[in-house]
Amino acid sequence: METIAHLSNTGVTLGGRPVLAGVDLTVIAGDCIGVAGPNGSGKTTLVRTLATLQSIESGAAKVLGVDVRDRGLSGVRRQIGLIGHQPSLIPELTLAENLEHLARLAGSGTDRVGNALEVVGLGGASDRRVEACSFGMRRRVEIAHILLVKPRLLLLDEAASGLDEAAGELVAAMLRSVRGRGGAAVMVSHDRAHLGAHCETIFQLESGRLVAAV
């Protein structure tokens, strides 16, 4: 099976404080790995490291076969989908405009935007500005973005918090879709029960260390 991401003794320091220390993690195609941990344990930093967005201090990290220390990461980054714990949409744009903007930046077409919004149940709100939308609606737009990107590595950082049951089902469908295409997913959350609903393997992150597999 193809290795999607591999962290070996990876360490990250932020502001002089070690946030990740000696992390070993291998993500294989088809995996859905959950990482639980309390606030401040390094979950977001782990996600950003896997997204190639965080520079590492020590050890090694490879994502989709490319060392995260390399300069030419744009090709790999286009195959990564990330839903962070804070929505990242532009408030003054409409839902459709946000997705079209991201599609244009990535050099892909905008013709599937309407369909993606339909799938997440926002077809009738596509021309509503983000600033007039609830947190849950913004989350659904980010799920629609993932549907457009079709990533090989999907990273979810507390992505299900604040979602209703129907949106939770969308997250589950998104995970099935990524894994079905030969990709993999890593979910981090403080809510172990939520991870258990989606992931076969759950690790515990404490003070920057992956201490136990559950």
Partner 1 sequence: MTFWKQALEIARVDMVVERRAGETLRIVLPFSVVALMVFPLALGLQLNIVSVVGIGVFWALGILFGMQVALRQSATDTAERRDLQALAGVDPAARFAGRVLSGGVLMAGFLGLMLLATAILFDPNVPRGGWPVLLVSTVLVAIGLTELGTLAGEVTTGLRARTPLASLIVAPLALPLVIGASQAVQALERDTSILPWVLLLIASDLALAVAGVALARPLEEATR
Contact between 87 and partner 1 by CB under 8 A: the answer reads: yes
When the beta carbons of 21 and 80 are compared against partner 1, the nearer one is 80
Which residue matches tokens 């258990």? Answer: 196
Q: Is 49 helix (H, G, I), strand (E, B) or coil?
A: helix
One-letter amino acid identity for 7?
L
When the beta carbons of 86 and 201 are compared against partner 1, the nearer one is 86
- Identify the residue among 26, 55, 115, 161 touching partner 1 (CB under 8 A): 55
Task: Select the span of 69-77, 110-118, 132-140, 182-190 touching partner 1 (CB under 8 A).
Answer: 69-77
When the beta carbons of 1 and 105 are compared against partner 1, the nearer one is 105
- Give how many residues touch partner 1 by CB under 8 A: 28
Contact between 136 and partner 1 by CB under 8 A: the answer reads: no
Query: x/- contact string, 104-123, with partner 1 (CB under 8 A)?
Result: xxxx----------------
Contact between 75 and partner 1 by CB under 8 A: the answer reads: yes
- Identify the residue among 43, 48, 139, 140 touching partner 1 (CB under 8 A): 48
Residue 69 and residue 188: Cα distance in Å, rounded?
23
Half-sphere exposure of 206 (CA within 13 A, CB side): 4
Q: How far is the CB of 213 from partner 1 (least distance, A)?
A: 28
Which residue matches tokens 């136990």? Answer: 212
Task: Dump strand ranges (E) for 86-208.
Answer: 153-157, 184-189, 201-206
Joined together, the tokens standing for residue 176 give: 């099935």
Q: How far is the CB of 74 from partner 1 (least distance, A)?
A: 4
Those residues whose C-beta lies under 8 Å from the C-beta of residue 34, and which sit 6 or more positions away, are 186, 187, 188, 189, 192, 195, 196, 198, 199, 201, 202, 203
Q: How far is the CB of 152 from partner 1 (least distance, A)?
A: 12
Which residue matches tokens 């000696």? Answer: 22
Q: How far is the CB of 88 from partner 1 (least distance, A)?
A: 4
Helix (H) or strand (E) holding 38: none
When the beta carbons of 155 and 202 are compared against partner 1, the nearer one is 155
**φ, ψ for residue 60 (rounded to 5)?**
-135, 155
Those residues whose C-beta lies under 8 Å from the C-beta of residue 181, and which sit 6 or more positions away, are 150, 152
When the beta carbons of 128 and 192 are compared against partner 1, the nearer one is 128
Interacting residue ranges for partner 1, rule: CB under 8 A: 48, 51, 53-55, 74-75, 77-78, 80-82, 84, 86-90, 92-93, 97, 101-102, 104-107, 129
